[in-house]
Structure formats: structure tokens, C-alpha cells
């Protein structure tokens, strides 16, 4: 039978992770809608943005949620929504819509809680945070970054669209930058502490079994029991049958 080379029309190209998933699309439109609303009615920003003094003294308990949907400018929302699409789509495909939304809000609220707790610490940083106004989805986005690094550690992330580095290295760099920036006593430290809080809370949440501490404890107990049985019966690790490599 004569050989026929493949048609060029069968070759497809894809930019980024592909089409948006339902939760990512919902979050993106919600953020854009709130950005437009805050531009038309800027007086809602102090009401919906995160201010530790207002949360504690005025009991504005909605702020740790609503602050995630406000942004300080076009560049701010552009980069956050780009990161939401780039990293969130694959995570939602892997987790499903419900768990993705749950994780997104836990990381974002965790970032807000970090800001509020640090505002109570005596010193220059605490004083700056107490009356500061924080807006943006960056805390939740940092949570997505650490989740992406856990599930896709070797996936290349392009810096300035030119230099590929593994996702896990990218997140380590971003975490280090957020940490170094957060120890400064300026307004940048306020924002970066929220970034760091979202990253840490997201990491701990996933490592605790997706919000189920008993599941994490049970997993570690079963793994311990299997290791004991392997030692007892002289079973050696190896290949595809290694317990630690099969259980995630």
C-alpha cells in the first residue's frame, strides 16, 4: 500500500490550557463585572475591600470574601485573570467544579485571615496593615499556583514568555519574593503578606487531605501499616508496585 504523508490540516495549535472551564469562566466574569462596577461607583471599594480595622471593629465580616473581586487597576485584574485561566483551567479539569471553587475561596479567605492576624502583631507592619485596604484575587491565585506546582511539578512555566522553568521552581521563586516583600513595613508588604497567606493556606489544605484531616491521618496510618508488613515479610520496594508511589 503506498504511503501517504499526514495532511497538514490535521495539525492543531493551542494557546495556553485551552477553553475555559465553567468555574473559571464564572470567576472571570464576576471579577470583570465587579471591576466595572467599582469603576462606575468607587465608593463601594472601602465597603467591600479588606480592611482589618473594619472587619474587627465594625464587624464587616463579608470583606474577607468580597475583597477578592475588586482590583486596583487594569494591569492588576489583567494579570490575575490571566493567571486564573492559565493555572485554574487544568486544576478544575482535574478536581471538578465544586472542589475547585471550594479550594479557590479557602485560599482567598485564608489570605485575608493572614492579613487580619498580622495586623494584630505589634510593630510597624501590624500598624500598616491595621488601617490598610487590600483588594484583589492574588491570594486565591497564589493558592492556585501552589496547587499547580503540586499536581504538575515539571510542567514548564515561561518567564516573560521566553524562559521555561518547572512549575515547582516558579512557585518557590514567587513564594520567596512574597516572603521577602512581606517583611517590609510598607504598603507592598501588606499586599504580599496576603499573597504568602494564600500560598501557605492552599498548601496546608491540600496536604491535610483536601480539608479532611481524618482522611490524611488515616492515609498515614495505612501507609505505616503497609510499611510494617513489608518489613515483616521481607517485601522490598521497587517498580510500579511501590506503595508510596501509588497512593497520592
Neighbouring C-alpha atoms within 13 Å toward the C-beta of 89: 14
Of 219, 177, 207, 215, whose CA–CA distance to 195 is shortest? 177
Catalytic residues: 138, 195
Residues whose CB is less than 8 angstroms from the CB of residue 215 and which lie 6 or more positions away in sequence, other chains included: 209
Of 56, 200, 67, whose CA–CA distance to 120 is shortest? 56
Which pLDDT belongs to residue 236? 57
Q: How far apart (Å, rounded) are the C-alpha atoms in residues 97 and 117?
A: 30
End-to-end CA distance of the chain: 48
Estimate to the nearest angstrom the gap between the alpha carbon of 146 and the chain centroid: 6
Can you list the alpha helix ranges (DSSP code H) found in 41-123? 45-48, 52-57, 63-66, 74-95, 97-119
Mean pLDDT in residue range 198-210: 87
Of 169, 147, 150, 172, whose CA–CA distance to 158 is shortest? 169
The CATH number of 22-207 is 1.20.1540.10
pTM for this entry: 0.75
Estimate to the nearest angstrom the gap between the alpha carbon of 100 and the chain centroid: 10
**73-119 tens-digit pLDDT:** 899 899 899 889 989 999 999 999 999 999 999 999 999 999 999 88
Which helix (DSSP H) or strand (DSSP E) does residue 158 occupy?
strand 156-159
**37-72 tens-digit pLDDT:** 999 999 999 999 999 999 999 999 999 999 999 998
Taking residue 221's Cβ as centre, other Cβ atoms within 10 Å add up to 10
**218-230 tens-digit pLDDT:** 555 666 777 777 7
pLDDT grade, residue 233 (50/70/90)?
Answer: confident
Which pLDDT belongs to residue 16? 65
| Helical packing angle, 138-151 and 74-95, nearest 10° | 40
Amino acid at each position: 500500500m503506498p504511503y501517504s504523508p499526514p495532511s497538514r490540516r490535521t495539525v492543531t495549535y493551542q494557546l495556553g490550557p485551552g477553553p475555559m472551564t465553567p468555574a473559571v469562566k464564572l470567576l472571570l466574569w464576576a471579577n470583570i463585572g465587579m471591576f466595572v462596577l467599582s469603576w462606575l461607583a468607587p465608593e463601594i471599594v472601602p465597603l467591600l475591600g479588606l480592611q482589618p480595622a473594619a472587619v474587627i471593629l465594625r464587624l464587616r465580616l463579608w470583606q474577607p470574601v468580597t475583597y477578592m473581586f475588586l482590583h486596583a487597576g487594569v494591569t492588576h485584574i489583567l494579570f490575575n485573570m490571566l493567571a486564573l485561566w492559565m493555572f485554574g483551567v487544568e486544576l478544575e479539569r482535574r478536581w471538578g467544579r465544586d472542589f475547585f471553587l471550594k479550594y479557590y475561596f479557602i485560599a482567598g479567605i485564608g489570605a485575608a485571615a493572614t492579613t487580619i492576624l498580622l495586623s494584630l502583631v505589634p510593630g510597624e507592619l501590624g500598624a500598616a496593615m491595621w488601617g490598610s485596604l487590600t483588594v484583589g484575587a492574588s491570594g486565591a491565585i497564589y493558592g492556585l499556583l501552589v496547587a499547580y506546582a503540586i499536581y504538575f511539578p515539571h510542567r514548564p512555566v515561561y518567564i516573560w514568555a521566553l524562559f521555561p522553568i518547572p512549575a515547582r521552581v516558579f512557585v518557590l521563586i514567587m513564594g520567596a519574593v512574597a516572603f521577602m516583600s512581606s517583611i517590609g513595613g510598607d504598603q507592598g508588604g501588606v499586599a504580599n503578606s496576603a499573597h504568602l497567606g494564600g500560598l501557605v493556606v492552599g498548601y496546608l489544605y491540600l496536604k491535610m487531605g483536601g480539608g479532611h484531616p481524618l482522611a490524611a491521618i488515616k492515609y498515614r496510618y495505612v501507609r505505616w501499616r503497609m510499611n510494617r508488613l513489608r518489613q515483616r515479610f521481607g517485601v522490598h520496594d521497587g517498580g510500579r508496585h511501590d506503595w508510596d508511589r501509588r497512593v497520592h
